[in-house]
Amino acid sequence: MTTTDTAIRGAAPVGDETAGDEQAGSLRPQSLLLSFLGLHVLDRDVAVYSGSVIDVLARVGVSEEAVRATLARMVRRDLLTRHRRGRKMYFGLTGRSEAVLRDGHDRVWSAGAVNREWDGTWTLVGFSLPEAWRRQRHDLRTRLVWAGFGPLQNGLWIAPGQVDVPQVVAGLELDDCLNVLRAHASEPTEAAQLVQRAFDTAGIAARYRAFLERWDRPDPAPAAPDDFTRQLLLHNDWLQLVRSDPRLPAEHLPADWPAIRAEHVFRALSHRYDATSREQVEAVLDTIPTSDG
């Protein structure tokens, strides 16, 4: 596993901000809004008028009420900051949301959907928490899933490669409850067995096949009104896939692993939509600068 990949998978606080929203369904307002911000706001030093956000998400069936509630919630979570100009309210990125979006960008464009660089190393995290610590247990498991871990047995989770566990669990204050090790499989245990025992490979494959059923066709997302909207839906679907994929070693996956074809389809469609989408977004968005530069 590369250093870049380790850094990407170790960005645990990002997972806390998106995991619950994603698990509730692929077209949740916050997931869509984060996808939109990553595509069209990150690195631009601008804030977007709330009316523009409402218009964008209305194209994929999100109500104005839901958008306004999502914007308010993201401000409370330090994911957005308000900028008032006259009677208009604009929303810009914070340092926290920039980290979320850069992590998403790296997962999409840098890590890749298949891990062909695994060196045989596993990172192991063992933990034992008091029964009453249900919230802490939930938070820890959420962070571990986000970082690519799977439960091997009760209280023992594993991930391929060298994962920066202190970064994954930062802020949880559970260091005294954890045992972190790096190891290789040894007889009679084989790496392929660990993959099957700790990870739902059938479920991961099914999610990639569902993506292909939607997007690997002559007319993807036919209900979308334009390429701007198609690109948003495409990136939202793909980002949720790669966020829930532990990137298991390619050598222990079937030769027809659907992530390979799915990644090819995603990249081809993203390239197809990109130029038109950028033209359309410039015509739609009302923005203001957030810096003097």
Q: In whole angstroms, how far apart are CA 30 and each of 22, 73, 180?
A: 8, 9, 33
Quickly list H helices, the chain: 3-9, 12-23, 29-40, 50-58, 64-76, 95-106, 134-146, 165-168, 191-198, 201-215, 227-243, 258-284
Query: How do residues 23-50 score in pLDDT, each as one tens digit?
Result: 333 458 999 999 999 999 999 999 999 9
Give domain limits for the chain. 1-117+198-293, 122-197
The first and second tokens of residue 122, run together, are 């596993």
Residues sharing a CB contact under 8 Å with residue 43, sequence separation 6 or more, in sequence order: none
Residue 5: the pLDDT is 39
Fold of 122-197: Alpha-Beta Plaits (3.30.70)
3-state secondary structure of 116: coil
Q: In whole angstroms, how far apart are CA 197 and each of 109, 125, 179?
A: 29, 15, 20
Query: How do residues 91-131 score in pLDDT, each as one tens digit?
Result: 999 999 999 999 889 888 888 788 888 999 999 999 999 99
Global confidence as pTM = 0.85
